[in-house]
Structure 1
């Protein structure tokens, strides 16, 4: 917000409001002229806010910051609407003026010197979202087979175990021994093993794994 003497940024005093916690806002005053400017900060609620510094000198083409701290509050304002105001007074002063020379008389408008005032309102906002308060990330869900698919798989495995025949059914790869598997149209298919007991052992492992998957899916389906 531009004035003849100082530019004030931001134009509002903004606080992230949390119950029983202090909040601060930094305001910058910029002097783009070739003269020295004194400033003084006032508020309508001096017991509620702490301003540091309340007075100062901004050198030509220089800047100066002041910090406003809102004391911890025990109640939330209705509709998050705060009616408190701040007033920034500024006046041209001669070179060599110090903070000790700044008094209320310096900002009297009928004193003959150039004096300006700018009102700043107080704005309250909610705390920004954070990992602690935000949504927790969730792992992607692993698709589960349908009950019908699991049931059919169990039937196929049981039939293979009882008959000891292939029946042309495609099954998952369960061994890595050379010769036990062969490629058929890009799909690994179990060939008739030399040792029937070895096949029976593999089918037993398959049967146990399929039943475990079916049991887990059933529990997931029941709890959903």
Structure 2
């Protein structure tokens, strides 16, 4: 099956810190075909990322930009090393179908998947740490464009702190590094609390939407029942009308037959009476010999 979408980037979704707040990356989807193409986005870490819009239908040659948001990271337990994204696409079979109904009952053979790795690019972590030559010698350089594992980074920092000889000015530097680690832990704790609050808010909104949907479904079921009842009543009225019309037609035909019989009998009687009267007149006018 030919490709239905052109994606940019085509293999990796990259993010650039700082990661103590929401970070956004973008992806372009283009439909190069002459058909309508539906798409939806999946990830193996749905609590860590949000995608807007995460599904839709692209007209021929239409471009759609997706906004991918990375939630604040829970350092050091969270790593994006194994985070994946997948964009699924398929030809829209019906011009009237909606995007939310497109993927119901689809066959795997009709779907084309595009898979992406999630790359978290390193940030220069200064945040109160002195950038003196002594400090530069204590920490190994990190490329601004290389993937980073936050857990490995913090472990390396802590090992460096423990390995520094606490003499002269270096002792104060160690204290500063410990302070930075403490601040990072506090930031991690606040990020966890914020993420938990966002999850709770999201759960509340989901429950509210679910309740509204159930209410709408109940109203729809009631309306459907009322329509069904009205149809049944209309059918009964129609059948009763046909029955009444049939009875009236039979009665009218019977009355017409009776009238025709009465008319025939009356005409015959009148004819016989007239003949009798004419005979009497004829007899009375004949002379007596």
State the TM-score, normalized to the length of structure 2.
Answer: 0.39
Structure with more of its chain in strand, by fraction: 1
Larger Rg belongs to: 2
State the TM-score, normalized to the length of structure 1.
Answer: 0.49
